[in-house]
């Protein structure tokens, strides 16, 4: 697992996001998929979002992304769907007939998180969180200091 860093953060926020064209029409032909991929990569570069994996099918899009903590998932999806919708409708006029209301994507999306820590591990940690000095734990005088094995190996 690789952590990413910001000016004051160390994070690992990965999301699996799925969305589809309106009415789930299978309109994502090869040229449209390639253009959507190009536009999405540009947006991710601008926002500092890392694309771990992505797949575009004829009727939906899957993205597995690492989003920085200062960007809400809903804002990221809004930017990607909005920019791709506007640009591909400008560049592929045949889509205007099918999507006459200027809305190419469905309103919603699916999103789930991914991580190496399970719900059971978090619950077990929280069960013992308020014990006084469990196993000789001493808080660091300067606040939170990540364990050296949990620090990122690159980017410093």
125 catalytic? Reply is yes
* Catalytic-labelled residue, pool 3, 99, 109, 125: 125
**Residue among 57, 79, 63 nearest 15 (CA):** 63
Which positions ≥6 away from 50 have C-beta within 8 Å?
4, 44, 65, 66
Q: Give the whole-angstrom CA distance, residue 26 versus residue 20.
A: 9
> Which residues are marked as active site?
125
């Amino acid at each position: 697992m690789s952590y990413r860093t910001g000016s004051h953060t160390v994070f690992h926020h990965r999301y699996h996001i799925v969305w589809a064209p309106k009415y789930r029409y299978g309109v994502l032909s090869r040229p449209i998929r390639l253009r959507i991929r190009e536009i999405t990569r540009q947006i991710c570069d601008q926002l500092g979002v890392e694309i771990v994996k992505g797949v575009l099918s004829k009727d939906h899009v899957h993205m597995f992304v690492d989003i920085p903590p200062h960007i809400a998932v809903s804002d990221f999806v809004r930017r990607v769907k909005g920019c791709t919708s506007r640009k591909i409708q400008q560049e592929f006029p045949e889509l205007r007939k099918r999507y006459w209301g200027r809305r190419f994507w469905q309103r919603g999306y699916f999103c789930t998180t991914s991580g190496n820590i399970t719900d059971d591990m978090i619950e077990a940690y929280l069960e013992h969180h308020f014990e006084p000095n469990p196993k000789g734990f001493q808080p660091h005088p300067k606040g939170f200091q990540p364990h050296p094995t949990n620090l990122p190996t690159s980017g410093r």
